């Protein structure tokens, strides 16, 4: 067998292997691209739990503010009551005295109302505090779970990346064995033919487009010694049964 025929056959073999490598590379690249999405998916439970916690926290903070407001209002009424009481000695008329008593009673009434309201707030705050503690606990658990999951995903990703780097080196070696023009043709076809550039011929058909290959071409393809393109889809053909 002339040496140039062996060379072409080797080239075809390299081309078939290059396509196999490129198929895996495309798949790994797709996986790599999905990493942020996968992490985001894994984070969903934690994000929901954090949002939940944040809502209850806001509710609790609101109640604390309400509590401070009520306490301040009670203090203000206390101050008023003390102020009114201190004036008792200065009172000259019975009328003024009655008016002062009335002021004191009014302040006491407001104070009682605020105290009742404060009790309601305190009760509610106690209830929400329990809920808050439970939500905090839940968020912590989710955080732990996510952290483990994230480490696992990142370890998987490192594996993908290592595999990808190995294949890219492998790819370079294969490319070096293929002629420049043929490699260019392959690269152009890889995009347009959806990754299937080198197609096997089986039962007389191109497995890329399933068209029947003319007998004369078939004879040539069977030799696996030349680069022959399908008349219909332009894919590079090879004979499947030959090793």
Binding positions for Zn ion, rule: CB under 5 A: 206, 208-209, 230, 232-233, 235
The H or E element that residue 238 is part of is: strand 236-239
**What is the Cα–Cα distance from 35 to 49, expressed in whole angstroms?**
22
Give the nearer residue to Zn ion in terms of CB position, either 107 or 208.
Answer: 208
Give the nearer residue to Zn ion in terms of CB position, either 18 or 221.
Answer: 221
Closest distance to Zn ion from the beta carbon of 232 (Å): 5
Give the nearer residue to Zn ion in terms of CB position, either 9 or 217.
Answer: 217
Give the nearer residue to Zn ion in terms of CB position, either 178 or 228.
Answer: 228
Closest distance to Zn ion from the beta carbon of 199 (Å): 6
> Residue 236 in contact with residue 199, Cβ under 8 Å?
yes
**What is the Cα–Cα distance from 70 to 114, expressed in whole angstroms?**
6
Closest distance to Zn ion from the beta carbon of 203 (Å): 14
Residue 44 contacts by C-beta under 8 Å, 6 or more apart in sequence? none
Residue 132 contacts by C-beta under 8 Å, 6 or more apart in sequence? 53, 56, 57, 60
Closest distance to Zn ion from the beta carbon of 186 (Å): 15
């Amino acid at each position: 067998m002339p040496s140039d025929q062996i060379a072409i056959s080797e080239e075809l073999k390299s081309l078939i292997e290059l396509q196999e490598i490129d198929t895996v590379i495309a798949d790994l690249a797709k996986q790599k691209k999905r990493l942020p999405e996968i992490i985001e998916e894994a984070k969903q439970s934690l994000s929901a739990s954090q949002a939940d916690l944040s809502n209850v926290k806001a509710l609790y903070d609101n109640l604390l503010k309400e509590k401070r407001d009520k306490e301040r209002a009670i203090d203000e009424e206390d101050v008023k009551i003390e102020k009114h009481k201190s004036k008792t000695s200065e009172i000259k008329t019975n009328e003024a005295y009655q008016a002062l008593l009335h002021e004191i009673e009014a302040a006491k009434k407001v104070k009682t109302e605020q105290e009742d309201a404060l009790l309601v707030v305190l009760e509610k705050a106690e209830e929400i505090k329990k809920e808050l503690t439970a939500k905090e606990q839940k968020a912590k658990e989710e955080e732990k779970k996510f952290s483990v999951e994230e480490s696992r995903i990142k370890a998987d990703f490192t594996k993908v990346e290592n595999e990808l780097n190995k294949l890219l080196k492998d790819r370079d070696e294969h490319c070096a064995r293929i002629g420049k023009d043929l490699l260019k043709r392959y690269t152009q076809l890889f995009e347009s033919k959806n990754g299937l550039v080198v197609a096997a011929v089986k039962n007389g058909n191109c497995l890329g487009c399933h068209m029947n290959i003319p007998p004369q071409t078939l004879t040539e393809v069977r030799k696996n010694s030349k680069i022959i393109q399908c008349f219909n889809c332009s894919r590079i053909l090879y004979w499947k049964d030959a090793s």
